[in-house]
Amino acid sequence: MAGKEKQPKIITDKNQMRTWTRAMRTQGKTIALVPTMGFLHDGHLSLIQEAHKHTQLVVVSIYVNPSQFAPSEDLSTYPSDFEGDIRKLMAVPGGIDVVFHPHNLYDYGVESARDCAGNGGMAAVSCLEESGSGHETWVRVERLEKGMCGSSRPVFFRGVATVVTKLFNIVEPDVAVFGKKDYQQWRIIRRMVRDLDFSINIVGFEIVRDADGLAMSSRNVRLSPEERLKALSINRSLSKAKSAAERGELNCKRLKNLVVDEVREAGGELDYAEIVEQESLEVVEEIKSPVVILIAAWFGEVRLIDNMEINI
């Protein structure tokens, strides 16, 4: 007989969220947070199952964060299906306890400062600033955010670190679980937590892939069948490079070329491909310690990221 599905409590107010957390703490409960932007897939659900291994209660946040999108990026087209997300969450073994679904984490109950975006000669602004929210405080992990996604998306990691800090201060979790598909993001959050003395254990969960090898992403639904077939070159090329390294090819330029050539031949447009040390994210020329190959590529109008660790 199938188990009864668990209906999560839905909280939209940040003060109510904090009150719930503190009430649970008085009962001696431990809490995990799984931050998401919704449109959940099996990768997200795997993060929730991992969270259950670490704490007694699980909170899933669903919030599309405007501060990590530049005005030219796909905030307006980011997929959303809140009712479908709730159905999926109810079906997760063990269920979840709370869905934190705020309308606007940057609403401070004051009149918006319409001139905040663009003043002061900022090189790049986010959708949040363009909207004139009046938000002025940012969290940056200065060295780790440079390069790779930080080069092509200059407001992205500032927005991610800031909204995650806000979520941590609101939910006050003991554990937070992040997918390692967003490898640079995961490392940035770990460093931020260390540097700012958050008492939170950051758990990184391995990439979840579809049966054809494509890393699960909410953006995958925007790929045409032909584009999806071409995008399989990403995982295929990463696997070839890893196999070559395990056979003794330690020259990073040659390994990187294996990745770049395969993706380009499949019709992908490279944003970047880099081989970096796993913790520092510093580019290496020869593998002498654990590294990770990171890639971002466009297929049509969809930008996909992926990575593969090499531990030799």
Q: Tell me the percentage of the chain whose pLDDT exceeds 90.
A: 88
- 28-84 pLDDT tens trace: 999 999 999 999 999 999 999 999 999 999 999 999 999 999 998 988 889 999 999
Q: Report residue 131's pLDDT band, with 50, 70 and 90 as the boundaries.
A: confident
Residue 120 has pLDDT above 70, yes or no: no
Catalytic residues, by residue number, are 44
pTM: 0.93
Cα–Cα dist 37/28, whole Å? 29
pLDDT band for position 166 (50/70/90)? very high
pLDDT at position 267 is 98
**Where residue 110 falls among pLDDT bands split at 50, 70, 90?**
low
Virtual torsion, Cα 146, 129, 218, 282, nearest 10 deg: 0
Token couple for 57: 């209660």
Range list for CATH 3.40.50.620 in the chain: 9-205
**Best CA proximity match to 5, nearest among 116, 78, 94:** 94
Asked if 34 and 176 touch (Cβ cutoff 8 Å), the reply is yes
Chain region(s) in the chain for CATH 3.30.1300.10: 218-310
* CATH entry 3.30.1300.10 includes domain 218-310: yes
Q: What is the mean pLDDT of residues 231-236?
A: 98
Burial string for 275-291 (b: 16+ CB within 10 Å, else e) reads bbeeeebeeeeebeeeb
Split at pLDDT 50, 70, 90, the class of 109 is: confident
175-179 and 9-11: which strand pairing?
unpaired
Say if residue 122's pLDDT is above 70: no
Residue 16 phi, psi (nearest 5): -65, -35
| pLDDT class of 117 with cuts at 50, 70, 90 | very low
Pair 94, 49: CB distance under 8 Å = yes
Pick the CATH number of 9-205 from 3.40.50.20, 3.40.47.10, 3.40.50.620, 3.30.540.10: 3.40.50.620
